[in-house]
Amino acid sequence: MRFGSIFSLAAALLSATVQAYGNPGACSGQCWSHDPSVVRRDDGTYFRFETGSKIGIWKAPDLVGPWTYQGAALPSGSKINLKGNDDLWAPDVNKVGDQYILYYTVSSFGVQNSAIGYATSTTMEFGSWTDHGATGVASSAGSRYNAIDAQLVKSGSNYFLNFGSFWQDIFQVPLNAAATKANGNPYNIVLNTTAPQPVEGAFVYERSGTFWAFFSSGSCCGLDANRPTPGNEYKIFGVLVDPKRGAVLYYHYMNTDVGYADSQTLFGWNVISWSGGWPSI
């Protein structure tokens, strides 16, 4: 596995730590989940955005719930003229200035005809989102990357978008000052050289001046008859700095007592321990 970036990056999940992970934290209410993005508003309300339902929105008074469904963030789909624009994936929601930006993926399973779009809202509430279409990050057959699974990261006053899944794995591209459009060429930051190069869902998180790259590695999607590689048991999707709990790793996962279908994946979270200077759950 190779890393290269303007940031100092480290793989946050090693085999030794994954083998000893804790059980997911509590969740009540509507806890079905796929590709979650969690944001806490200044008034203490938690919002959870998910793949499917044209980016479904859930709300809760606490990270543990109870979560209640509000509706679709983009009920009309995306302006991007690409197959999949009515079935949006992998939301990533961040506050930039005085508004929230929701990045999403337009794609179809297993192909590189993909693009990352964005929408904005000042409240994150159902009915408040405006779609703006393309960010300029896109891919097609033969590209080095697949333009899906976007994640925003800020370094100083500069914004960057991380993205990618399989092919040559995770890339990063500079954005404009508004964090809405690509402002440079993408470059590779995480590469697994072992075919089929199964890395996706990257989330770069800054702590004490060091940037950590959390990501998922393994087969997708459904049950792997063999033991999953580290990261595949839980699909990593973000780090939330929670005022009550500190840094929290959140994800979707499969509970074998529930089932292995995509429709049965659940929202999970764990407080990150930095004992010894290395993240573990």
145 or 124: which carries more pLDDT confidence?
A: 124
Q: Which of 149, 200, 233, 257 is catalytic?
A: 200
User: In this predicted model, what pLDDT tens digit does every residue of 21-78 receive, in sequence order?
Assistant: 678 999 999 999 988 999 999 999 999 999 988 999 999 999 999 999 999 999 999 9
Neighbours of 201 (CB within 10 A): 25
Distance of CA 199 to the CA centre of its chain: 13
pLDDT attached to residue 168:
61
User: What pLDDT is recorded for position 20?
Assistant: 53
Asked if the model's pLDDT at residue 88 lies above 90, the reply is yes
What pLDDT score was predicted for residue 56? 97
Give the pLDDT score at 19.
44
Mean pLDDT of the chain: 82
pLDDT tens for 180-219 read 999 999 888 766 666 655 766 677 888 878 888 776 665 5
pLDDT tens digit string along 216-256?
665 555 555 544 444 444 344 567 778 788 888 888 888 88
CATH classification of 2-277, choosing from 3.30.2130.30, 2.115.10.20, 3.40.50.300, 3.30.1330.60?
2.115.10.20
Kindly report the pTM of this predicted structure: 0.84
Q: Tell me the domain boundaries of the chain.
A: 2-277
Q: What is the 3-state secondary structure (H, E, C) of the chain?
A: CEECCCCCCCECCCHHHHCCCCCCCCCCECCECCCCEEEECCCCCEEEEECCCCCEEEEECCCCCCEEEEEECCCCCCCCCCCCCCCCEEEEEEEECCEEEEEEEECCCCCCCEEEEEEEECCCCCCCCEEEEEEEEEECCCCCCCCCCCEEEEECCEEEEEECECCCCEEEEEECCCCCCECCCCEEEEECCCCCCCEEEEEEEEECCEEEEEEEECCCCCCCCCCCCCCCCEEEEEEEEECCCEEEEEEEECCCCCCCCHHHCEEEEEECECHHHCCEC
Task: Give the pLDDT of residue 231.
Answer: 40
Is 35 a residue of the active site? Answer: yes
List the catalytic residue out of 35, 50, 131, 149. Answer: 35
* Annotated catalytic residue 233: no
